Structure 1
Amino acid sequence: MKTKEGEVNPKKEPGFGRELYSVRESYWIFYQGMRTIRFMFKARRNRELDQKFVERLMLRVTEVNDCALCSYAHSKRALESGMTSEEIQKMLQGIMEDVPAPELPAVMFAQHYADTRGNPTPESWERIVEIYGPSKAKGILGSIRTIMIGNTYGIPWSSFFNRLRGKADPRSSLSYEISMILATFLIPLSFIHALLSDIFRVPLKYS
């Protein structure tokens, strides 16, 4: 996997790719995703986002995180949405020349969101709101956070099964994979945390 420009990863050898998400990060990624996924569905219902737009966002995040499981699943969904095989392959290679101009800022924000491990700059988010308006921007954010959940848990699960086939992910280790698989037991706790935050109207981050 190619190393992202400007990315520093002191815990990995050169060329091994980005550092994988920790158990702590996985908790908060799930929490943030559960709090904003409804905005994605709302934007779809209101026809602010179509399936191709959503899949472009998800493929961009998946390319940054390098999740084989999500690449396969969302390539299939992107094909079903009407995207061509060539366009999908370009997206998974980080080539965005086929992205429609109106969607490009959102796709670039998706890349930035994943590159910063879910911590984009406030200025970048403000720009997305300025371009698309609050409702559509929240739909974009919900789409990005949804695929972040899939990547965070999809990588260790696929890495574990690939390890059993003798194709271990050089970024990963057996202890990491087991710890992340066990961390799925935290999902109900994170879900309840998100639900209570909504009930008590805890402010959303980037909303």
Structure 2
Amino acid sequence: MNIKEKHKIRNDGKFGKKLYSVQESYWIFYNGIRTMKYMFKAKRKKELSPKFIERIMLAVTQVNCCAICSYAHSKKALESGMNNEEIQNMLSGIIDDVPNSEVAAVMFAQHYADTRGNPTLESWQRIVEIYGISKANGIFGSICTIMIGNVYGIAWSSFFNRLRGRPDPRSNLLYEVSMILGTVLIPISLIHALISDLFKKPRIKF
């Protein structure tokens, strides 16, 4: 059994069913703000192609089950040159079409989302070993950036789907309202992230 077959079996389970709390959303935004610059830097240096970034983002979105991000990043993935079959496979947790050079990054992205932003030290060290620190930071930035989209996308889309009579079975009105009101914490999280960067606090904790 090869690594892709193992990963396909792993994703046959149901992940991303427990929604993120307001407290978790604060730290997700904080991590995203601190790391997205590395994604842009890696893209600018051509360390990460648009397809590579979209594969990472689709992998995270598949775990978190964010419908609005699935739609948005399916469109971006198509624009990056990915075909529809590969996109649909990734949204089903199947990575047979992922280039071998990108499999480790996609698996780490799944692991990061699956552990709710608490990856193992060994998994991160492996990514650094495979890709080098600059590219690894770009991968990490891509993961944290889409995590922001997922956590708020789930809450907002759940709320509007409820108004349309199609509520998300994972959610409830109290959760959706608390998450929407919780966006008032975004400026505080932003300032916190900027101060942490100023004092060179670690970007990833284990």
Q: What's the TM-score bracket when you normalise by the shorter of the two chains?
A: over 0.9
> How big is the shift at 1:18?
1.6
Secondary structure in 2 aligned to 1:70?
Answer: helix
Matching residue of 2:35: 36
> How big is the shift at 1:201?
1.6
Pick closer, same or farther for the CA change 1:84–1:5 going to 2, 3 Å.
closer
Matching residue of 2:18: 19
Pick closer, same or farther for the CA change 1:4–1:174 going to 2, 3 Å.
farther
The within-5 A match list for 1:1-207 is 18-205=17-204
Amino acid at match of 1:185: V
Q: Is the 8 A contact 1:125 1:206 kept in 2?
A: no
Distance 1:143 1:50 in 2: 11
Pick closer, same or farther for the CA change 1:144–1:90 going to 2, 3 Å.
same
Distance 1:6 1:117 in 2: 16
Amino acid at match of 1:20: L
Distance 2:117 2:146 in 1: 11
Distance 2:81 2:42 in 1: 19
Amino acid at match of 1:18: K
Amino acid at match of 2:150: N
Distance 2:179 2:12 in 1: 27
> How big is the shift at 1:204?
1.9
List runs of 5+ in structure 1 lacking aligned partners: 9-16
- Structure 1 segments, 4+ long, off by >4 Å, are 3-8
> How big is the shift at 1:202?
1.7
Distance 1:38 1:53 in 2: 16
C-alpha root-mean-square deviation of aligned residues, in Å? Answer: 1.7
Pick closer, same or farther for the CA change 1:182–1:165 going to 2, 3 Å.
same
Q: Is the 8 A contact 1:65 1:114 kept in 2?
A: yes
> How big is the shift at 1:6?
6.9
Amino acid at match of 2:106: V
